[in-house]
Structure 1
Amino acid sequence: MRRNGRPTLLITGSNGQLGFELRRSLACLGEVIALDRAACDIAEREHVRTLLVRHRPDVVVNAAAYTAVDQAEQDSSTASLVNGIAPRWLAETTRDLGGLFVHYSTDYVFDGRHTRPYTEDDTPTPISVYGKTKLEGERAVMAAGGPAIVLRTAWLAGAHGSNFLKTILARARTHERLQVVANQIGTPTTAALVADATAHILARHWLAGDPSAFPTGVYHLAAGGETSWHAYACEILRFARACGATLQAGPDDVEACISQDPPSQAVRPAYAVLDSTRLCDTFGVRLPSWEQGIHWLVEQLIS
């Protein structure tokens, strides 16, 4: 509910790598209520509803999720609750309060059999429990019937929290050789880019626009281009060294290997590049190449 003419924006999962960036990017739009898991466990239905009714936000941005991809294979009930069922509760309550619901999903809703970027018109066929539960959440959010937008992103990396980029930098400081998978293709996307694009969409098309004309639906939001995990790791180390980082391993010390998923772990999509054209055309968002975003993030981490 608007207070002193300023909208209220509520973030769940505010302490994750995306939630952390959303706290920054949304701060200029209004009053931000940032709730981490301790303050708002989205798996607790009545608690969530009570919180939302108390604050009556104009926008609810759900950055909370079960992201332990391998663990989800053995803990499907919890993954389904957090990723699939809880988003429906959030979306329904937000709808009842007259607000907009923003939800995030993943490239893992696709099976990775394509050889060209996936569009929103491609049929999702997830091959892991994580991907299946995230697709369940997407469909539940849209079925709630209120103003809502689902943003699918991929290979997220941020300055806060754990991710591949930070792991590669840490290992390169103490190891002379690294081994990285080369047969999985995607698009590294910074959490800052996703957060900034979200703020742009809200500022231009919801808070300052006609809410009844807001283009609800599912959109892809990923940086431009594509790469393998191996080439990604090489570029991280190349640029880090160019920026003066002291590393034991450089790009020539990264060995390419082929992924062989153990039976106990989730199967990853071999090709999971997202085409973000629809988002750019609909909301006027400009997305940089993955290299630009990763260079910026590396500079932040080693400075």
Structure 2
Amino acid sequence: MSILLIGEHGQVSRELQRCLSGMSDLVVRGSAQLDLGNSAQIREQVQALRPQLIINAAAYTAVDLAESEQERAFAINAEAPGLLAELAAELHAPLIHYSTDYVFDGSLDRPYRETDAPNPLNVYGRSKLAGEQAIARVGGAHLILRTSWVYANHGRNFLLTLQRLLQTREQVSVVSDQIGAPTWAGSIAQATAELIQQWLTGQPGSWGIHHLTAQGETSWFGFAEAIGDTLREAGQPCARLLPISSAEYPTAAPRPLNSRLDCSQLQADWRIQLPHWREGLTACLSHSD
């Protein structure tokens, strides 16, 4: 089976390359070969390769910068996924696409279900929601996997930033009133490989939107505390952590206070459940890059 993986150096993409390397004929296209802002290039590449499965692991993810780069954010996160869905449908190939907790405003007092109405607070969230809607309009076999707070031991993310700050400063302030599930990119990739395997064996669950995050919940401050614990256990220097509110840490793009996603639908339909977020952190830190 031939798989086209869009995205080369991103957190999820790099982990997918590990997980899928022995499963299929995997073709990886990064931005140098396939620019999601260039619709003609997308069409040319997909039609030339004619994959049996398309995985879109690329996205515009600069949440704050998106506030001033709305056109580019929508081109990559909304228009490109819609075109990929059209091309996949023409090839009768499933499309797997990743989305985000930021499609919700965080006002509920419980984890969000797939049936809850989206209401993004920022441009990034609106662009990702528009991508979901564009894929859904095309129809065809597709999986939209919403995840949250993704990190890895490579790239740019909260884990690596906090490790650096905790080892170079005396005190680090971290927001404590935003709640979610830190999710290791490796767990996302492994779950994706399991989803593909179920499809290949003729036992797929339902297509459409599914939530895919680590089990459990914490705040960014709680996640930072767990990261600090690992540094201290390894005998590394570690700054003192100070909890602050979102109001005390203003950003260009507002964030939802509640980023929890209910993943019970994925477990019921596809029999897939990610490990607890603490287990994911341990696995990530013991995972060689």
Q: TM-score range by the shorter chain?
A: over 0.9
Answer yes or no: is 1:232 the counterpart of 2:223: yes
1:23 and 1:226 mapped to 2: Cα distance?
A: 28
Q: Distance in 2 between matches of 1:23 and 1:261?
A: 39
Q: What's the offset of the Cα at 1:263?
A: 7.5
SS of corresponding position for 1:49: helix
Once the two structures are superposed, the pairs formed by residues 10-159 of structure 1 within 5 Å of their partners are: 10-159=4-153
SS at match of 1:160: coil
Read off the aligned partner of 1:207 and give its amino acid letter: L
Cross-structure match for 2:236 = 246
In structure 2, the partner of 1:4 is: none
2:270 aligned with 1:283, yes or no?
yes
Residues 1:223 and 2:214 are matched in the alignment: yes
- Among 190, 196, 203, the alignment partner of 2:197 is 203
Contact 1:106 1:153 in 2 (8 A): yes
Give 5+ residue unaligned stretches, structure 1. 1-6
Query: TM-score scaled by structure 2?
Result: 0.96
Structure 1, residues 60-100: CA drift from partner, whole Å, max 9, x if none?
Answer: 00011010000111111111111111100111001101111
Pair 1:182 & 2:176 matched: yes
Gaps of 5+ in 2: none
Give the whole-Å Cα distance in 1 for the aligned partners of 2:63 and 2:247. 15
How many Å separate the matches in 2 of 1:10 and 1:34? 6
1:139-194 CA-to-partner distances (Å, cap 9, x unmatched) read 11111122111000000001221100111111111112111011111110000011
Once the two structures are TM-superposed, the CA of residue 48 in structure 1 deviates from its matched residue by 0.9
Structure-2 separation of matches of 1:231 and 1:64: 28
Residues of 2 paired with 1:295 and 1:247: CA distance? 19
Secondary structure of 2:143's counterpart equals strand
One-letter amino acid of the counterpart of residue 247, structure 1: P
Contact 1:13–1:37 (8 Å) recurs in 2: yes
**Which letter does structure 2 place at the counterpart of 1:59?**
L
**In 1, distance between residues paired with 2:249 and 2:75?**
25
User: 234, 258, 263: which is aligned to 2:245?
Assistant: 258
1:224, 1:214 → 2: CA distance?
20
Please identify runs of 4+ aligned residues in structure 1 that moved more than 3 A: 261-264
TM-score of the two chains, using structure 1 as the length reference = 0.92
Q: CA-atom RMSD, angstroms?
A: 1.6
Q: Give the AA of the match of 1:295.
A: T
Tell me by how many angstroms 1:214 deviates.
5.6
Deviations 1:259-281 (A, max 9, x none): 12888700000011011110111
